[in-house]
Amino acid sequence: MANIQKRPNGKWRARYRDLDGKEHARHFDRKIDAQRWLDEVTASLVTGQYVDPRSAKKLFKEYAEEWRTRQPHRPSTAKAVAQHLRCYAYPAWEKRALGAIKPGDVQKWVTDLTTTHGLAASTTRTVFNTVNAVFRAAVRDRMILHNPCEGAKLPAVPRKRVVPLSVEQVRRLSAEIPARYRGLVLLGAATGLRPGELFGLQLRHVDLLHATMSVEQQIQQTAKHGVYVGPPKTTRSYRTAPLPKVAVQALHAHLRDFPVSGPEGWLFTAPEGGPVVYTSFMDGSWRPACQRAGKPKGTGPHALRHHYASLLIKHGESVKTVSERLGHTNAAMTLNIYTHLWPDSEERTRAAVDRAYADDGSADRSDLPDAEAA
């Protein structure tokens, strides 16, 4: 129910009741402005776009904390989200109401992340995505009408070209790493599994008879939750990886030297037993092996994944196939990382035209009339 009344002071009072029966009112100098406001409110109520003015007054931090605690984040993601909000969002908007944060405020905040806080462009984008998720949820919950993050200009992320390891480099690394992880290195290079996926392999995931391996879990590590078994990174990360001969041979050798007891036994274990822990593996085995093998400083286990992708590309596999083997969310992600490894399109274009004209002699211009040849 809505109505407009003229007040003794000459103002026009517009009133309406929201879906909860709460009355709202505003005063205007002109009746036409009061009517326009009521029309807008009525339209939003009818279309389901109504936002209670009281909702927008809720503090950003209060709503963000409610949003954060009800998200089904895995522990590593939950830790990152909490850090983004605590370190970068709350200092800026802790005492600001949701509806008081405007697009200009967001743009200045994004710029300050790089200029004041010194964050890399990629980190700035990650922090922004967290805050953007909060505001998107606020719009869905009818707390605010518009998301102030929409249209924000983000810093460009410099594209780093992946330089994959050669076959010889992988062999040298596998020779330098402790024997208990030699199979892990060769398996990573031959299947493209993520480090956590390699650590999470159990004997039940391996089918040497059919030369396949199923990816169903990964080992993760956070300060709060310690070492734990979690699901693969994305839905697409659940996959069955074909095992080339080099992987089958490496697994046979590994299981011979390091037997696994039962289907639930870990394929690769820490020296003291149990699954491989990333930090201990890096400090105790991977980095020393890289140094002995002459690898560039900063080379991580992910380099084995890049090596695998480069082999598939070199031997003509499509973007779709490479994306599926790596368990990427989509083919666009694969192209974004490895596009420079595919054969140069300019050379393919020249070769295609040259082949078309090579058979009939049309490429020879000596017989053309002078005017046409010119």
Judgement on whether residues 319 and 177 belong to the same structural domain of the protein: yes
What pLDDT score does 374 carry? 40
Number of domains in the chain: 3
Q: Are 96 and 59 in contact (CB under 8 A)?
A: yes
What pLDDT score does 363 carry? 45
Of 12-26, 222-236, 239-253, 355-369, the range with the highest mean pLDDT is 239-253
Distance CA 170, CA 305 (A): 11
Q: Does residue 200 lie within any of the structural domains?
A: yes
* Residue 10 pLDDT grade (very low, low, confident, very high; cuts 50, 70, 90): confident
Structural domain span for residue 309: 167-340
- Return the exposure string of 251-262: e unless at least 16 CB atoms fall within 10 Å of the residue's CB, then b: beebeeebebee
Q: Does residue 279 have a pLDDT over 70?
A: yes
- Record the tokens describing residue 154, joined without a space: 């983000």
Judgement on whether residues 325 and 192 belong to the same structural domain of the protein: yes
Judgement on whether residues 21 and 129 belong to the same structural domain of the protein: no
Q: Does residue 212 have a pLDDT over 50?
A: yes
How high is the mean pLDDT of the chain? 88
The secondary structure of residue 202, as a DSSP letter, is: B
- Return the exposure string of 30-39: e unless at least 16 CB atoms fall within 10 Å of the residue's CB, then b: eeeebeebbe
* Residue 205 pLDDT grade (very low, low, confident, very high; cuts 50, 70, 90): very high
What pLDDT score does 293 carry? 94
Q: Does residue 369 lie within any of the structural domains?
A: no
**289-311 mean pLDDT:** 93
Judgement on whether residues 247 and 232 belong to the same structural domain of the protein: yes
Q: Does residue 353 have a pLDDT over 50?
A: yes
Q: Does residue 303 have a pLDDT over 60?
A: yes
**288-296 mean pLDDT:** 93
**149-155 mean pLDDT:** 96
Judgement on whether residues 335 and 188 belong to the same structural domain of the protein: yes
Instruction: Name the pTM for this structure.
Output: 0.70
Judgement on whether residues 66 and 191 belong to the same structural domain of the protein: no
| Residue 49 vs residue 295, higher pLDDT | 295
* Residue 48 pLDDT grade (very low, low, confident, very high; cuts 50, 70, 90): low
Judgement on whether residues 114 and 235 belong to the same structural domain of the protein: no
Q: Does residue 180 lie within any of the structural domains?
A: yes
Q: Does residue 371 lie within any of the structural domains?
A: no
Distance CA 306, CA 164 (A): 5
Q: Does residue 373 lie within any of the structural domains?
A: no
Q: Does residue 60 have a pLDDT over 60?
A: yes
Judgement on whether residues 12 and 80 belong to the same structural domain of the protein: no
Q: Does residue 369 have a pLDDT over 60?
A: no
**139-163 mean pLDDT:** 90
Inter-axis angle of helices 75-84 and 121-140, nearest 10: 90
Output the domain CATH number for residue 290.
1.10.443.10
Output the domain CATH number for residue 68.
1.10.150
**178-196 mean pLDDT:** 97
**Of 50, 73, 89, which closes a domain?**
50
What pLDDT score does 358 carry? 79
What pLDDT score does 304 carry? 97
* Residue 141 pLDDT grade (very low, low, confident, very high; cuts 50, 70, 90): confident
Judgement on whether residues 268 and 173 belong to the same structural domain of the protein: yes
Query: What are 70-114's pLDDT values in tens digits?
Result: 999 888 889 999 999 999 999 999 999 999 999 999 999 999 999
Q: Does residue 372 have a pLDDT over 50?
A: no
Judgement on whether residues 84 and 116 belong to the same structural domain of the protein: yes
What pLDDT score does 340 carry? 84
- Record the tokens describing residue 27, joined without a space: 């005063």
% of the chain with per-residue pLDDT over 70: 90
Chain center to CA of 231: 15
**Of 124, 140, 156, which closes a domain?**
140
Judgement on whether residues 29 and 126 belong to the same structural domain of the protein: no
Q: Does residue 219 have a pLDDT over 90?
A: yes
What pLDDT score does 49 carry? 65
% of the chain with per-residue pLDDT over 90: 63
Q: Does residue 314 have a pLDDT over 70?
A: yes
What pLDDT score does 13 carry? 86
- Return the exposure string of 183-210: e unless at least 16 CB atoms fall within 10 Å of the residue's CB, then b: bbbbbbbbbbbbbbbbbbbbeebbeeee
Q: Does residue 76 lie within any of the structural domains?
A: yes
Q: Does residue 154 lie within any of the structural domains?
A: no
Q: Does residue 20 have a pLDDT over 70?
A: no
Q: Does residue 266 lie within any of the structural domains?
A: yes
- Which residues does 3 contact at the CB level (< 8 Å), separation at least 6? 14, 15
Q: Are 189 and 264 in contact (CB under 8 A)?
A: no
**281-291 mean pLDDT:** 96
Judgement on whether residues 187 and 108 belong to the same structural domain of the protein: no
